[in-house]
A and B are shown apart, each in its own frame.
Chain A
Amino acid sequence: MLVLRPALRCARAPSSLSRLSVSRGFATTLRRAEELHKTPLYDFHVKNAAKMVPFAGWSMPLSYGEVGQITAHKHVRSSAGLFDVSHMLQHNFTGPTAQSFLLTLCPSSLASLPPFSSTLSVLLNEVGGIIDDTIITKHSDDAFYVVTNAGRAKEDKEFITKQLAKWNAEHKDGEKVKWETLEGWGLLALQGPKAKDVVQGMTDKDLSEIKFGQSAFVELDNGKGDKVKCHLARGGYTGEDGFEISIPPAEAVAIGERIAQHPDVLLIGLGARDSLRLEAGMCLYGHDLDESISPVEAGLSWVIGKDRRAEDATPTFPGKSRILTELAKGPGKRRVGFEVIGAPAREGSKIFDAAGTKQIGVITSGIPSPSLGTNIAMGYIENGQHKKGTEVKVEVRKKLRDAVVRPMPFVPTKYYK
């Protein structure tokens, strides 16, 4: 049965996480370890009995020791969990035209974004498809900090390189944009209701001043008597209050150890990261998003700034005509949440109408929810069938199961606002 065969079946496995997590991973991790990138915390993970798996070209912790995914998941919801997300690509864009340049890559309203605030956004291709989803943090009109997905590093770099070359060719010295990626830096996410107490114990900065979606450079105590300047952004990928902390390479381990020593903190791997984000209704690129899908289809219309939507608004963004049409007339399909009765639906499960006769969509992520005890999923469904409460059928192991369109997030978010 188990493990080996499903490992090779893309349609059945819910996400790359699961594909990597099963036993195939145990053998290949060793063989491929040398080819995989390691975050600055690699040795720290190994020391803490992490089960390391290949993920997006990186060797990453799936779980730690004997702590199961459900225990890890619930600990984040009730206390605090530390995630190493250093595999994600961190960028700095600086220069007098940095804001205008970024406006040509994404549809967000960066002009109205206050300094030291972040927004979810998308990098778009020429036909309005999502190259990647990203968090853009504005420090000032001429300085932006951007985080993109590890699994899209190659595509993102190619896209930015090309667009930037064009941009800088059209701008004279003194107006050009400088782009750097923070290779080797640490990026740690501390998530959960106790995250603020843990970080507050490491800094003199009053964290109540930093609300959800805001950020600051703060000095964090590394447990060795040193203060380390880190970028602290309030938010994350779990729906809980928490922080994403960007740390200079040499200090990443010390800060990680300092946080992990706190009695309320548990180390959390990619397994629980996936179930937490799905309960929060958040997308995982490569599963819920790809280059054919527009932000309108993905239910991310809110990332398209009001000031960017006028026909004549400049600068324009890639794929604008498709996106404006979809905003006006509705997209062909929409990403929505589902509750599936009886058995969990996984990525690739077909969605049928209530009569079970016509396929009207496909599941892109699905799990038995550790917090709710119900089977939750997200997927794309024909426009018109997307309203909450709509009854549909979802095919799991050749049987049609009852399912209902549900609003997301499945678990209410608890941001500090």
Chain B
Amino acid sequence: MLSALRPLARPATGAFRNLASVKSTTQTLRFSAVRFVSTRYTTDHEWVSFDSNTNIGTVGITDYAQKALGDVVFVELPAQGNEIAQGDSIGAVESVKAASDIYAPVSGVIDEINETLADQPGLLNKAPQGDGWLCKVKLSDPAEFEALLEADAYKAHCEGA
């Protein structure tokens, strides 16, 4: 938490500012005492925000990723109800210059996809860790989530990349 607030001279700063806002949502939800929501990251520059109450993880790409991609013009997502396994290619995010696979960060069943992205793929650039989320997954193995990177470790990964 502290590290997210520490001013950083690195480009990753933006990512963590956004992250801070994600966390503030977490705080509100935590107020209900039984619920636990936290966000973790993959080395493929995805984030998962996991709600232990519903067993649903929201998946998106990080700010670092959207910056590297440039203007996103097309997003292909898996269909609702699809079963996915961690590491599967489940879709793609495309800029003019390149297609980047979306790899399932966790295993489970697709509970919902962000339909808005079909008309507004630019949301991935504007709010990658907010309105630009990709899909929600009902986790089949929450232990997979626990093994993903925490914010500090992800930040270190980006800086060392």
Could you tell me which A residues sit within 8 Å of B by CB distance?
A: 1-6, 12-15, 17-19, 21-23, 26-27, 63, 68-71, 73, 271, 274-275, 343-344, 346, 367-368, 370, 397
Contacts and interface: CB of A to CB of B under 8 A. Distances in A.
Nearest to B105: A1
Nearest to A69: B96
Contacts of A2: 44-46, 61, 65, 68-69, 93, 100-102
Nearest to B67: A23
B70 A6 contact: no
Nearest to A274: B97
B112 interface: no
A335 to B, nearest CB: 21
Contact of B101 (A6, A14, A23, A368): A6
A17 B101 contact: no
A370 B74 CA distance: 12
Interface string B91-105: 111111111111100
Interface residues of B, number: 30
A4 B45 contact: yes
Contacts of A71: 71
Nearest to A6: B100
B101 A1 contact: yes
A63 B101 CA distance: 23
11 contacts: A1-B44, A1-B61, A2-B45, A2-B101, A3-B44, A3-B69, A15-B97, A22-B68, A69-B71, A69-B97, A344-B74
Interface of B: 42-46, 61, 64-65, 68-71, 73-74, 76, 89, 91-103, 161
Contacts of A4: 43-45, 161
Contacts of A12: 99, 101
B98 A69 contact: no
Contacts of A1: 42, 44-46, 61, 65, 93, 100-103
B71 A68 contact: yes
Contacts of A5: 44, 100-101, 103
Contacts of A6: 98-101
Contacts of B65: 1-3
B161 A27 contact: yes
- Across the A-B interface, the 8 shortest Cβ-Cβ residue pairs: A18-B98, A2-B100, A68-B71, A18-B97, A23-B68, A1-B102, A2-B65, A1-B44
Contacts of A343: 74, 76, 92, 94
A271 B70 contact: yes
Contacts of B100: 1-3, 5-6, 22
Contacts of B102: 1-2
Nearest to B103: A1
Nearest to B62: A2
Contacts of B64: 23
A346 B65 CA distance: 20
B97 A3 contact: no
A275 B46 contact: no
Contacts of A21: 70, 97-98
Contact of B96 (A13, A73, A397): A73
Nearest to B65: A2
A70 B46 CA distance: 24
